[in-house]
């Protein structure tokens, strides 16, 4: 009887430990699931939402889908760009995601536009057409100074403007850097980023070859990357082209550098 009583006590103790263990395990899983759900909902509702957040010295980029907004009146109703902002330099990265067998090929890119503010303004106007802008960020060129925050980014379709509204005016004679990420479709027209198919014949053997070309004049640069697309807004360019190793990159610029970049064994060429 004593042995049986001891065995029962041992089993009872083991059962209580097992129940306690699984209770704690389920509680931990429930807490983890609740935290994950809250974070997920917060990330979904916070996308492109300018709710109050903790202040930070780091300028946060605006991730937003740019859509046309008709009916609004302002400086974007004029055919010519205002002269309050003048571009200095473009650091342009282009990556054509081209596949000959694909019916539609795309490209992605990033551009850093260094510009000077000639007259105080709280609106930045750029030309942008047939491309999707995904990220916009504004920083001040001078170290230790802050740039105005971006309130809204939208598209005025009348003259192909990308409109960037700021919470305060840019400082006159100051220099800023506008960083934009974008994507587009490689077309088959005569302007912008295009693909052409030709037939190459070697010793009576013919095959189809593809060539991707760019034609920026007179107003096709805006279909490749956001820019001040008018002849009077001249600036210097640093162009980085990422492409697959089985392709060759050519340019009418003599000085170039070939390296590796972009992942997947792709090449990076600087012009």
- Cis peptide upstream of residue 249 (ω within 30 degrees of 0): no
Give the range with max mean pLDDT: 11-20, 63-72, 110-119: 110-119
Determine the pLDDT at residue 202: 76
Mean pLDDT of the chain: 76
137 & 17 share domain: no
Average pLDDT over residues 172-187: 93
10 & 88 share domain: no
Specify burial of residue 128 (Cβ count, 10 A radius: 0-12, 13-18, 19+).
Answer: buried
Determine the pLDDT at residue 248: 80
Q: 57 lies in a domain?
A: no
116 & 15 share domain: no
Number of domains in the chain: 2
36 & 78 share domain: no
206 & 230 share domain: yes
Average pLDDT over residues 123-135: 95
14-18, 72-76, 130-134, range with the lowest pLDDT: 14-18
pLDDT for 25 beyond 80: no
Separation CA 126–CA 135 (nearest Å):
14
Q: 136 lies in a domain?
A: yes
189 & 255 share domain: yes
Q: 93 lies in a domain?
A: yes
35 & 92 share domain: no
Determine the pLDDT at residue 154: 94
- Residues paired with residue 136 on neighbouring β-strands, in sequence order: 62, 180
35 & 71 share domain: no
220 & 194 share domain: yes
pLDDT for 77 beyond 90: yes
CATH label of the domain that carries residue 168: 2.60.40.1730
Domain extent at residue 87: 62-270
Tell me, rounded to whole angstroms, the distance of Cα 1 from its chain centroid: 78
Q: 39 lies in a domain?
A: yes
Determine the pLDDT at residue 79: 92
pTM of structure: 0.70
80 & 178 share domain: yes
Determine the pLDDT at residue 247: 79
State the chain's maximal CA–CA distance in angstroms: 104
Q: 171 lies in a domain?
A: yes
- Classified as helix, coil or strand, 104 is coil
131 & 207 share domain: yes
Q: Which residue has the higher pLDDT, 198 or 107?
A: 107
83 & 195 share domain: yes
Determine the pLDDT at residue 68: 58
């Amino acid at each position: 009887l004593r042995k049986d009583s001891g065995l029962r006590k041992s089993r009872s103790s083991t059962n209580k430990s097992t129940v306690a263990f699984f209770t704690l395990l389920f509680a931990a899983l429930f807490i983890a699931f609740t935290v994950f759900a809250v974070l997920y909902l917060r990330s979904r509702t916070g996308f492109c939402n300018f709710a109050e957040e903790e202040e930070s010295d780091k300028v946060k980029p605006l991730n937003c889908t740019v859509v046309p907004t008709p009916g609004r009146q302002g400086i974007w109703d004029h055919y010519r760009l205002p002269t309050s902002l003048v571009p200095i330099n473009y650091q342009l990265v282009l990556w054509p995601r081209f596949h000959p067998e694909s019916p539609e090929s795309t490209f992605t890119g990033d551009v850093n536009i260094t510009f000077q503010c000639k007259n105080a303004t709280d609106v930045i106007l750029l030309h942008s057409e047939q491309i999707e802008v995904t990220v916009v960020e504004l920083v001040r060129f001078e170290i230790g100074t802050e740039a105005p925050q971006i309130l809204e980014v939208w598209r005025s379709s009348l003259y192909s403007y990308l409109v960037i509204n700021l919470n305060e005016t840019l400082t006159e004679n100051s220099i800023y850097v506008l960083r934009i990420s974008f994507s587009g479709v490689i077309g088959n027209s005569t302007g912008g980023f295009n693909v052409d198919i030709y037939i190459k014949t070697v010793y009576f053997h013919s095959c189809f070859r593809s060539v991707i070309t760019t034609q920026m004049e007179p107003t096709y640069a805006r279909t490749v990357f956001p820019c001040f697309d008018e002849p009077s807004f001249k600036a210097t360019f640093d162009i980085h082209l990422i492409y697959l190793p089985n392709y060759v990159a050519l340019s009418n610029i003599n000085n170039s550098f070939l390296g590796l970049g972009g992942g997947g064994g792709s090449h990076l060429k600087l012009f």
